[in-house]
Structure 1
Amino acid sequence: MEPSSTHPTIKALLNGDELTIRLLYDSLYPKVLSYVKNNKGTANDAEEVFHNGLFQLISRAKVKEVLIKSSFEAYFFTICRNLWLKELNKRKKEIRNEGFFELKEKDDNHLAAVIQQERWELFEEMINRLSENCSKLLKAYFNKVPYNIIVKKFSYATENAAFQRVHKCKKKLTELIKTDPRYKNLYTS
């Protein structure tokens, strides 16, 4: 069974809709170009990053459902930005952090959405690395399921036992997140 991607833009890309690709190029390529050029890249680099970003997104959507928690634009820009950062790493070039964007209020919101999406993806990835029990327990906890229900659902003897287990699982999740290389960029910059 093919995964379902509910975002209309992703559906259009999966169907090979050339108009959608052209519209994406017209609206998003300038941002990718600006980012790449301001971080020691060329227009050719930006073109390659943009096309690789589209390819990566389509490939990912063919394999599993792509959940977008922010705007499509922020999600796609994140993909392109990560591709460019990987390329720079390969080239061992230093990213110039100062003045690479002249952010307007709209861009601030866009950047905040990108960072929020990346944080959410890191959180989701790390919670799924936990044991199945911890993962399910924390998902219940974060969905504000009351402890008396958690006790029954997970067969704990007391609410205190459930509380202790939640605490241990949260501690493990926090350790996983903080030891991931992406943490420093997403939470301390």
Structure 2
Amino acid sequence: MKDPNFFLEGLIKNDEKVVKDIYNNSFYKVLSFISKNKGSRLDAEDVFQNALLQLAVRYKKEKFQINTNFEAYLFTVCKNLWRRELNKSKLKVTNDYVIELRDDNEDIALSVLEQQRWELFNDYIQQLSENCIKIMSMFFKRKSYAEMVNIFEYSSETVVRQRVFKCKAKLKEMIKSDSRFKSLLEL
């Protein structure tokens, strides 16, 4: 497995071999995800291109580190971009006689901010106890408290609620104590 920075450096240098490698290893996963979530191949191509651009611009600016493999990281960036697109389309009112102007710089800035927030969250969730990681995973997958009682063999849903609350509180405390937190608050 190649170092994630190898791919980031290749993007910045516009290394054709590296870019082709990224497309061959990652594009079809992104296409599959977007196709299953109300998108087309053209949408997938746009999102993929925007993600690569976003990563290159950000890496050029701040030389950040990726702590997972590059493909997983890129896929997460693409998922976040597509979810934002879906949310934006829900809020739009279509009028054939009005042309909307989009500010791509604002979109890129918001994408970078969202990705940095995800990285901060991900850094700290990995530092929770093994039990809390499992509980939070179930919580984020929207498992019911009843299901969690059976999975963890707790005595009641109240116990599960307390565990979820304590794990969330610990996670919040760790994130808020990080120096990056204040800079990542919404403006």
**TM superposition score normalised by structure 1:** 0.54
- Letter of the 1:180 counterpart: D
Q: What is the CA distance between 1:51 and its match in structure 2? A: 9.9
Which residue in the other structure is 1:65 paired with? 69
> Unaligned stretches of 5+ in structure 2?
21-48, 82-101
SS at structure 2 position matched to 1:129 = coil
Which residue in the other structure is 2:173 paired with? 175
Q: What is the CA distance between 1:155 and its match in structure 2? A: 1.5
- Letter of the 1:120 counterpart: W
Which residue in the other structure is 1:133 paired with? 131
Which residue, 19, 34, 48 being the options, matches 2:16? Answer: 19
Give yes or no for contact 2:139–2:164 (8 Å, CA) kept in 1.
yes
Structure 2 Cα separation of the partners of residues 112 and 162 of structure 1? 35
> Per the alignment, do residues 163 and 122 of structure 1 end up closer, same or farther by CA in structure 2, a change over 3 Å counting?
same
Structure 2 Cα separation of the partners of residues 52 and 158 of structure 1? 48
Q: Superposed, which structure 2 residues align to 1:135-150 within 5 Å?
A: 135-150=133-148
Which residue in the other structure is 2:111 paired with? 113
SS at structure 1 position matched to 2:184 = helix
SS at structure 2 position matched to 1:157 = coil
Q: How many residues are paired up? A: 130
Structure 1 Cα separation of the partners of residues 103 and 60 of structure 2? 24
Which residue in the other structure is 2:183 paired with? 185
> Per the alignment, do residues 127 and 182 of structure 1 end up closer, same or farther by CA in structure 2, a change over 3 Å counting?
same
Structure 1 Cα separation of the partners of residues 61 and 110 of structure 2? 24
Q: Superposed, which structure 2 residues align to 1:26-105 within 5 Å?
A: 50=60, 53=63, 64-66=68-70, 67-68=73-74, 69-71=76-78, 105=103
> Per the alignment, do residues 105 and 17 of structure 1 end up closer, same or farther by CA in structure 2, a change over 3 Å counting?
closer
Give yes or no for contact 1:151–1:159 (8 Å, CA) kept in 2.
yes
> Per the alignment, do residues 65 and 167 of structure 1 end up closer, same or farther by CA in structure 2, a change over 3 Å counting?
same
Give yes or no for contact 1:4–1:64 (8 Å, CA) kept in 2.
no
Which residue, 159, 162, 183 being the options, matches 2:160? Answer: 162
Structure 2 Cα separation of the partners of residues 111 and 50 of structure 1? 14
CA deviations 1:112-171 (Å, max 9, x no partner) are 000000001111111111101001101110110111111111111101100111001100
Structure 2 Cα separation of the partners of residues 138 and 51 of structure 1? 33
- Letter of the 1:18 counterpart: D
- Letter of the 2:124 counterpart: M
**TM superposition score normalised by structure 2:** 0.55
> Per the alignment, do residues 141 and 3 of structure 1 end up closer, same or farther by CA in structure 2, a change over 3 Å counting?
farther
Identity of aligned residues (%): 30
Q: What is the CA distance between 1:19 and its match in structure 2? A: 1.9
> Unaligned stretches of 5+ in structure 1?
36-48, 75-103
